[in-house]
A = this chain, B = another copy of it.
Amino acid sequence: MPTDLHVFAVPGLPDVTPDADLAALIAGAAARSGRGIVAGDVVVVAQKIVSKAEGALVRLDEVVPSPRAREWADTHGKDPRAIEVIFREARRIVRMERGVLIAETHHGFVCANAGVDASNVMPGFVTLLPRDPDASAERLRRAIAEESRCPVAVIVSDSFGRAWREGAVDVALGVAGLRPLVDYRGCVDPYGRRLESSVTALADELAGAAEIVMRKTARTPVAIVRGAGEWCGDGSGRELVRDASRDLFR
């Protein structure tokens, strides 16, 4: 039986500040929108507001850039303090060219600027990725479930560039209450052939769908995907990070 998905942004969220009760803000905004939150909803929350609520912000005035950060920033016309923050967040610099820094974060994510970002952030500050996006997702899941009195899943999402393809897509950094991968291996196709290597990154596809309705400039950093309840269960965003030893695409 095919599932219908319904994907919609949650309007009316206020500006999120450190120590905001993000779950209460989300549940409240969803209730005011008239659609509420129902059992099995996947609540997709942009990393930016999770980081803001958790205080994962750095005031650039308090950053003393290293000579290396200063040199690179000067060459490429960047703020040396922001570059310093990127270096601190990076476990490894993957590429550093033409003013673009691709880094592997301590979580194992590979993304531009190690996830350090100034967009949609008050001037003079940058946000970091949440320290533990799965823990962030789990805290939100519990609190939203309590506020809305029904079981939900939560994805903490961010826009990542990719190898081989133009444009960024949203992916799931943190996941709670959802199986992030759908494993079709061993399933049989209509011709009786066993599928060999079909594992789908469901949580990333859900994050991408949510991104479409969030829009980057519309102040709607939360979206709900309704209809994916069958995939609710145990899972984490960590499962989506591919170990280097298994990665033939990098």
Contacts and interface: CB of A to CB of B under 8 A. Distances in A.
A171 B204 CA distance: 12
Contacts of A169: 169, 200-201, 204-205, 208
Nearest to A95: B248
Interface string A106-118: 0001101000001
Contacts of A95: 248-249
A66 interface: no
A202 interface: yes
Interface string A220-233: 10000000100000
Given A209-B209, A212-B228, A228-B212, A248 B102 contact: yes
Quick one: copies of this chain in the complex?
Answer: 2
22 contacts: A2-B9, A2-B215, A2-B218, A2-B220, A3-B212, A3-B213, A4-B8, A102-B249, A110-B164, A118-B193, A161-B249, A162-B163, A162-B201, A162-B249, A164-B249, A165-B242, A167-B204, A169-B201, A170-B205, A187-B217, A190-B217, A205-B208
Given A202-B212, A216-B184, A217-B184, A196 B247 contact: no
B167 A201 contact: yes
Interface of A: 2-9, 11, 15, 94-95, 97-98, 100, 102, 109-110, 112, 118-123, 159, 161-171, 180-182, 184, 187-193, 195-202, 204-206, 208-209, 211-213, 215-220, 228, 239-242, 247-250
Contacts of A199: 166-168
A97 to B, nearest CB: 6
A85 B157 CA distance: 38
Contacts of A187: 216-217
